Structure 1
Amino acid sequence: MSSPRTVARWVFDVAVVVALVSAVVMAVSGNWDATIRFGLIAAVMVAVRTSDVPLPFAGAFAVLLLLSTWAAVRHWYRQIDQFDLLVHFLTPGSLAAVVYFALVHQRLLPDVRRQTPRLRSAAPVLWVVLVGTTAAVVWEFYELVMERLSPSSMNVGYTDTVLDLLAGMLGSAVAGGLVLAWGRRADTHPQHDGR
């Protein structure tokens, strides 16, 4: 029976391979915009793995990044009802958790596993929420710019923007809670920390 760590590594590796294959397929079909997108996300995935991000978080981030990129390339946001809101809920928090662990690896932030109980209960969660919310805001700026440059490429408005920001903030709060739970579990089971 496979361990959770083995499954997470397998999920992550498959996502990287799918991103690379997607880039090649898009290049062969002449879709250079999509080729660049898939090439960039493959590079981001590899960078995440070299930053010692725990495998469950790295795997989830890789899958969500791949899914959101395919959604943009294939216009699933327009075709599937509420898909946009789901992606806005999942992706900013996943990104924020990965960034948190990458900065811990660089020793720019304290590790959730090595804090006092009071700090552990607030600091990592707050940091993940702030970064995820900031990522959601930056994405909405991007959508605004793209809508101005190419009105047919984006379908945004006030309600869409506010709901996307709310989804990003709530998703980031969930991700912060998962980081905290992982830190507590890794602290009590150091040999199974998921790295």
Structure 2
Amino acid sequence: MKDDFLRPPRTVAEYAADGVRAIGVLSVIIAAIWSTPTDAGVLAFALPALMLPRALGLRGGADLAVGAIVLIAAVSNVFDLYRSLPGWDLVVHFLCTGVIAATGYVVLARLGIVPPQGSPAFRPRLPLVVCPLIGLAASALWEMVEWAGRTFITTEIFVTYEDTIGDMAMGGLGALVAGAVVAVVGLERDPRR
């Protein structure tokens, strides 16, 4: 993982993904100086998800997709797009949970819990089950974080029962679609390149 993280970018997509990571780090600094602690915290919360695809050695396109979607999700919160754009919340939960579930599959493969995509033991039906499980678990965890943030930190965080259920349903659907993608598209970069 360390070698993948420190490896210089080689493709346009890898440079773009590193650019998204740089924007993510800068956005935290900018929010910490000129915005609220809540905004800086939301953006900082996204940083591990921006860095993980690089450490895992995901292909440039997959790395870029994960980073861009996660950063858009965080920035949407800062600019209050979830309240001002009808349906935006559901679109972002679908996409963000999907890329998190796909990345989660790669993490589980690295831990030896599921077979990696290129191995003889890999079966395309496996990510169709595993990715939705990861996505629903991540959705539940996210909704608990939102609830705790509203309950203990600030009432600026929007939480209702209907919103929570809708977010989790769209997240589960996004994770199912991600499972279909993981079933047929290799996410990891060829280690020989």
Measured against aligned partners, the alpha-carbon deviations of 1:144-166 in whole angstroms (never above 9, x if no partner) come to: 33333367323332322221111
Partner of 1:53: helix, strand, or coil?
coil
Shift in Å, 1:30: 5.3
Q: Which has the higher helix share?
A: 1
Equivalent residue for 1:161?
164
- 1:59 alignment partner AA: L
Counterpart of 2:118 in structure 1: which amino acid?
Answer: R
SS at match of 1:120: coil
Whole-angstrom distance in 2 between the partners of 1:165 and 1:102: 22
Counterparts of 2:136 and 2:153, CA distance in 1: 25
Q: Aligned pair 1:74/2:79, yes or no?
A: yes
Shift of 1:34: 3.0
1:124 pairs with 2:88: no
- Equivalences for 1:47-126 in 2 at 5 Å? 47-116=52-121, 120-126=123-129
Q: CA RMSD in A?
A: 2.7
Tell me the percent identity: 26
Query: Please, which runs of 5 or more residues in structure 2 have no aligned partner?
Result: 1-9
Q: How many residues are matched?
A: 183
4+ aligned runs moved over 4 Å, structure 1 = none
Q: Which residue of 2 aligns with 1:149?
A: 152
* Secondary structure of residue in 1 paired with 2:149: helix
Q: How high is the TM-score relative to the length of structure 1?
A: 0.80
Higher mean displacement: 119-128 or 91-100: 119-128
| Cα pair distance change 1:46/1:148, threshold 3 Å | closer
The superposition leaves residues 108-144 of structure 1 with CA deviations (integer Å, 9 ceiling, x where unpaired) of 431122235xx51211221111101111111122223
**What code does the residue aligned with 1:32 have?**
P
Deviation string 1:61-94 (CA, Å, 9 cap, x unpaired) is 1111111111111211111111111111111121
Compared CA separation, residues 31 and 157, structure 1 to 2 (3 A)? closer
Distance change >3 Å, CA 149–CA 43, structure 1 → 2: closer
Q: Distance in 2 between matches of 1:24 and 1:33?
A: 13
